[in-house]
Amino acid sequence: MEASDPKLLSPPGNCRLAIPKKGRLHEKVLEMLKGAGIKFRREPRLDVALAVDLPITLVFLPASDIPKYVGEGNVDIGITGHDVVKEAMVEVKHIMDLGFGKCRLCVQAPVVDKIENVEALAGKRIVTSFPELSKQFFQPLDEKMGVTTKINFLSGSVEAACGLGLADAVVDLVETGTTMKAAGLEVVAEILSTQAILIVNPHAEHQEIVDMIKRRIDGYITATKYSLILFNVANELVQQACAITPGKKSPSITTLDDGGKAISALVPKSELSAKMDELHDLGATDILAMDLSNSRM
């Protein structure tokens, strides 16, 4: 069953949360929701699911449709790419970057054409899944060059358009660049950088639940970026130890029976091993590191 009108399929009082039903963001979003404690049961072939023990209805939609549903108030809050939000040109509030699904929307042309300046493509044929963003990008170039760039929409396999003779260049997403290189294309210009974001309707009906969802997701993201480090240190070394592990806000310090201090602090995962080495060399003891499952800051 497709979620043509989520309001009709959601119990009164539930906040409606739209997430991608498939595609490059889908699995990452499901992993994030699980980590944030937003669990649900989804029946086969249904695009609507109810959260367990939370007043939330999850609505599974194509990522490109989510900005429209959020902007028009059919759902309260949604997760999708920054690129499709800009393409949709609807009024939504961007409330959080989620840190995954990062890529770039780029103008790409055949390597054999050796195009070094994007102005050379003004007035040419461009194929893209992002016609609005492409028009916005080429409009000032067209005005400068006195030409009209032909923007043609294609929903999939955009990278094949040049090889098939349908386009002189394409505007498409570049993540690793593997697909682009396989198609014999190269980046000529970058239009925007994108990643998964959390968006909300400016007049959302369930603001308290929206705030709770944001808080849970923020806590999970923090937990994935930081580890908790705990150690003991002599009283005279506390200042130096805190300089090594200042924490996200500040370290927690308690006094031990022998007069020393027990310190705990959040440390970025990427710095954890180096910090432990520094503390050891300083003279700290009982140095432990713990992974976090979630947090509230």
pTM of the model: 0.87
Q: In this structure, what are the phi and psi dihedrals at residue 87, rounded to the nearest 5 degrees?
A: -65, -35
> Are 77 and 18 within 8 A, CB to CB?
yes
pLDDT for position 43:
85
CA dihedral of 278, 284, 288, 290, whole degrees rounded to 10: -60
pLDDT for position 1:
46
* Residue 285: strand, helix, or coil: strand
pLDDT tens for residues 192-247?
A: 999 999 999 999 989 999 999 999 999 999 999 999 999 999 999 999 999 999 99
d(C-alpha 263, C-alpha 229), whole Å: 8
Q: How confident is the model at residue 23 (pLDDT cuts 50, 70, 90)?
A: confident
Mean pLDDT value across the chain = 94
Neighbours of 155 (CB within 10 A): 7
pLDDT tens for residues 34-84?
A: 999 999 988 888 899 999 999 999 999 999 999 999 999 999 999 999 999
Q: How confident is the model at residue 140 (pLDDT cuts 50, 70, 90)?
A: very high
Radius of gyration of the chain (CA): 25
